[in-house]
Structure 1
């Protein structure tokens, strides 16, 4: 078993096509949905007025409840051979992963509410839950791009927090889409629908909490 995180681990002569494939793998790696979720969480925590100790507590809480269980489930599935790659390219392999993720996010949101977490953490948790719900429902019949969905979540969150001055981040979205289609993991339709629904969900939750940068 080899997790496809090491995009540069190749031998032999590189032609133009292999270089394009390597670039697509690199882009897919750095925009990995779990990694992007962690980065989004860090940005949100940074924007909240709190001590380092408080930020560390919330970071570990969110990581431990929502992100780590999903990552461990994927690792376990790969070890057993029921999941073939880290990005869960096969649609039917996504069902149980999404179920684990949704249960984890449900528990996270209940705990955040119970602990009276800062509103931005509630925004993060509820947006992630609704995005996960959308992906879970569409996965029953279609394989929407997780990469484009979570990258859009990241970009829209930053625009929501800091305003339209960061809207330029969206120019990288076509690159993410190209990478996923280049590797034949998705069609452009699956990339675009994932991005648009993610943008809508993020906008609705941010609007509900009166973060109107978007």
Structure 2
């Protein structure tokens, strides 16, 4: 699916969550991840970043926010996802690192604000 189709799907799904009065934690999660996607979209106009790494680190940051620091035990999973993107030659180490930073930096604060 092309990028416009993905974004349309995300926005329609988000509207349905709000329209059907989904739990606050779920709408906060989806809103935080949409914000990550928008931040990635803004950067990607100028430089390619790893969406896979951003989503993995963003999800982990929210898990740490909700369940506490013991969830940091999942950091190796995020690192493996980043390593796979470099190994597959889809991204450079820098693109993976920036993706991870954007994912965590955008998702966790927004989730805490909305959740």
**TM-score using structure 1 length:** 0.50
Give the length in aligned residue pairs. 115
What secondary structure sits across from 2:22 in the alignment? coil
Which structure has the highest helix share of the two?
2
- The answer on whether the counterparts of 2:36 and 2:106 sit within 8 Å (CA) in structure 1 is yes
Structure 1 residue runs of 4+, over 3 Å off? none
Aligned-pair RMSD on alpha carbons? 1.6
Which residue of the other structure, out of 92, 98, 117, is the alignment partner of 2:3? 98
CA deviation after TM superposition for structure 1 residue 199, in Å: 0.2
- Structure 1: segments with no counterpart, 5+ residues: 1-72, 74-96
- Bigger relative CO (Cα 8 Å, ≥ 6 apart): 2
Separation in structure 1 between the aligned mates of residue 16 and residue 82 of structure 2, nearest angstrom:
35
Separation in structure 1 between the aligned mates of residue 99 and residue 55 of structure 2, nearest angstrom:
8
- The answer on whether the counterparts of 1:144 and 1:194 sit within 8 Å (CA) in structure 2 is yes
- The answer on whether the counterparts of 2:52 and 2:81 sit within 8 Å (CA) in structure 1 is yes
Instruction: State whether structure 2 residue 55 is matched by structure 1 residue 150.
Output: yes
**TM-score using structure 2 length:** 0.87
